[in-house]
Amino acid sequence: MAEEKYSRSQLEAAREYLRRRLEDESSMRGDVESVLSTYIPLLVTLLVRGMSQSDIEEVLDDLVADLIADCEALSVDDHDGNRDALLLFLHQDIGGKTIDDRIRERVSTLYDEVFTLVAIGLLLGEKESSIVTSILSSMKEPWRNPMLLTFREKVQSGEVSVPAGIDISDRHYGKGVPVSSLVALTDITVYGVSACWSLNDWLEHKDSSSGYYVFRGSSYDCDECDSHVGYHPVSDEGSLPLYHNHCKCYVVWV
């Protein structure tokens, strides 16, 4: 099939779609930080006051529900005609886990981090308000939390010992690289939002288009993006433009 030509208006429409998608990605990033900033003080209070595990689980369930609700809202946005298909896609099982499972896992990790830092803060004689401030200020890199660093120094000097059940080692995920719960939850939810926008673009155009062009929307090196640049005929869903995390490519339908 010969490649189709596209107009300036088609090109601008594709760029505008990318801009709108990136706006929702940015909103999702802000939502994750806002949600965690709301729930972390609640968790600290429950832990400091020795509340029951059932009370803590209720707060964690609400935290998970809020993150999922925000992710769903931005994944669908104003694409109401494809709402059911997008939500089904968002919550699909990939590798034995859904996005709900992945969010819940990371929220559980967040709780472990908060639990450890609260315990350390109390051992150091910190007030509840100071513990909250310290945790919130180091959400992106909890391994650099000042309370944790101070406690490690005291352990190394022999001033204090590590209580049973407290893990002060760096948490590593993936290839030995520390990733905070904030960053992990952001990556999970932003990927969901962006992938749904990509699917909606496909659903809106696949029946009325003969093909599409993929263009790079960024200048950073990426072999994955480079491999998709160019013209692709529409045949079946197997030709759906692939989306990967942090992708800024855009699609011009013809």
Within-domain flag for 21: no
pLDDT of residue 1: 44
Identity of the residue numbered 85: A
> What is the total count of domains within the chain?
1
**231 has which bridge partners?**
213
Within-domain flag for 184: yes
Tokens of 177: 């690289």
Residues of the chain with pLDDT under 70: 1-4, 171-177, 236-243
Tokens of 35: 């949600």
Within-domain flag for 225: no
- Give the distance, in angstroms, between the CA of residue 6 and the centroid of all CA atoms in the same chain: 34
pLDDT of residue 232: 85
| Among 32, 163, 164, CA closest to 110 | 32
Q: Could you give the C-alpha distances from 134 to 149, 215, 245, in angstroms and in order?
A: 12, 43, 30
170 three-class SS = coil
pLDDT of residue 248: 85
Within-domain flag for 38: yes
| Among 40, 162, 183, CA closest to 113 | 40
Within-domain flag for 212: no
Which domain, by its residues, includes 50?
A: 27-199
Within-domain flag for 186: yes
**Calpha distance 248→89 (Å, rounded):** 20
Say if residues 197 and 21 touch (Cβ distance below 8 Å): yes
Within-domain flag for 242: no
The strand ranges marked E within the chain are 211-215, 230-233, 250-253
**Calpha distance 26→23 (Å, rounded):** 5
Within-domain flag for 71: yes
> Residues near 176 by Cβ (< 8 Å), separated by ≥ 6?
none
Q: What is the mean pLDDT of the chain?
A: 90
pLDDT of residue 123: 94
